Structure 1
Amino acid sequence: MLGSQMRRRKPRILCLHGFRTSGEILKKMMGKWPDAVLEKFDFDFPDAPSPAKGKSDIEGLYDPPYYEWYQVNKVECFNFEECIAYIEDHMIKHGPFDGLLGFSQGGMLASVLPWMQREGVAFTKVPKIKFVVVISGFALRELKSGPPKLLVNAFSAPVECPSLHMIGDKDFLKERGIKLLKSFVKPFVIHHSMGHTVPKLDEKGQKTMLKFIEKIQEMFSIDLQIALGPKAAL
């Protein structure tokens, strides 16, 4: 019975929305992906802890309310530690989660969380993050006051967990998204012709996504065999 339940379980993904959007908006944006992709996972779409403190770029396209994970200017980053604590608390209460998916500001967070967990500066009370999907993500720009305390020496060594990155040719954060690739070992990359958005998956993009999913499924197959032990051969 236990083995049967484990075989049926889909990988669970915590989805982190973009700046001044919401979990519901990210869910709608991802709804354009084919069922062949969406049916492979269980998704969770929480809202960020802070209500939007200014105008959202998607007003008129998607209904409010809108939220933001943290705030940043050229000098410093605000509420980053509070944001990380909020995400970790959500993972403890609503997990376990196997992977992360993030768009824009959420993509920046999804990219640094595995590193923070590896270094033991956060996410020490939740299971290991096994993979990440980063959509229009970016490396946090250099600030006059320096990086948030939790990100000092971020990516001092590349992150080894499997990662998939979606980068738009017209994305205003394209170069920072490309820079982020260097922080991961053998990343999967989907280039698309659109801007700063969750893209539809064309035939080539879907093939890359399915190859990434195959890698994730292989990981789960190995984990299942280890968990079942000798029973796996029965």
Structure 2
Amino acid sequence: MGSEAGIARKPRFLGLHGFRTSGAILKKQIETKWPKSVLDKIDIVYPDAPFPAQGKSDVEGIFDPPYYEWFQFNKEFTTYTNFDEGLAYIEDILIRQGPFDGLLGFSQGAILSGGLPGLQGKGVALTKASKIKYLIIIGGAKFRNESVAEKAYSPPIQCPSVHFLGDNDFLKPYGLELLESCVDPVVIQHPKGHTIPRFDEKGLEMMLSFLERIQEDILSEDEGKGENVLEA
């Protein structure tokens, strides 16, 4: 018993890939860019989004198909199609393959990840899934649909989050807007564009410290559960 007491399970994250890519592509991007010191401290599950790509993918010729999307939108990103269906699909994965501690998202997956805790808190999405406690946001932004945004970011996002902001990412201004709606963000800057970045020394320290913090939370939760069992 004593030997197990100090060992917490790894944090588990649901990885939501970018628009017209796939779970396999996100997995490859992360596992080729992130060092073992990070990958050893986190479990990530990489599902495909529910809808086959309805147009050309930006990663054609770089990564093999098939490609998927979580929902569709108009040119201004203000009108969404299949949005509720996409959320129901994510909820189903969270329930069937959970429990998960948090969400990791890139691009369209990061926009979803940043908005889901608020939608869950308001009782409009993921109502049957366990609470999202942590976020890893890579190349994120806010929802631009007004009725969705109103529910997603008010009150601000309470759960601890880490945000990767690329100096040359076309979404950077929108990633900064998302930061303003977060109570407890860690920001990792990188010089690249809209991509999964490698870590520099400072970014790596910040990421490892974020994961250690989650690990400590899990450990104290598990110990609390153990005490409750003993009391019962």
Instruction: Kindly state the Cα deviation for residue 72 of structure 1 after the two structures are TM-superposed.
Output: 0.9
Tell me the equivalent position of 1:127. Answer: 130
Partner secondary structure for residue 195 of structure 1 = coil
Structure with more relative contact order (C-alpha pairs < 8 Å, separation 6 or more): 2
Within the candidate set 106, 110, 123, 1:107 is matched to: 110
**TM-score, structure 1 length as denominator?**
0.91
Partner secondary structure for residue 161 of structure 1 = coil
Tell me the equivalent position of 2:190. Answer: 192
Identity %: 53
1:24-63 equivalence runs, <5 A: 24-31=24-31, 32-63=33-64
Amino acid at match of 1:16: L
Task: State whether residues 23 and 46 of structure 2, in contact with CA within 8 Å, keep that contact through their aligned partners in structure 1.
Answer: yes
Tell me the equivalent position of 2:164. Answer: 166
Structure 2 unmatched ranges of 5 or more: none
Partner secondary structure for residue 209 of structure 1 = helix
Pair 1:116-2:114 in alignment: no
**TM-score, structure 2 length as denominator?**
0.92
| Structure 1 vs Structure 2 CA RMSD | 2.1
Q: Distance in 2 between matches of 1:183 and 1:38?
A: 28
Amino acid at match of 1:192: H
Q: Distance in 1 between matches of 2:51 and 2:207?
A: 32
Partner secondary structure for residue 113 of structure 1 = helix
Task: State whether residues 77 and 147 of structure 1, in contact with CA within 8 Å, keep that contact through their aligned partners in structure 2.
Answer: no
Structure 1 unmatched ranges of 5 or more: none
Task: State whether residues 133 and 163 of structure 1, in contact with CA within 8 Å, keep that contact through their aligned partners in structure 2.
Answer: yes
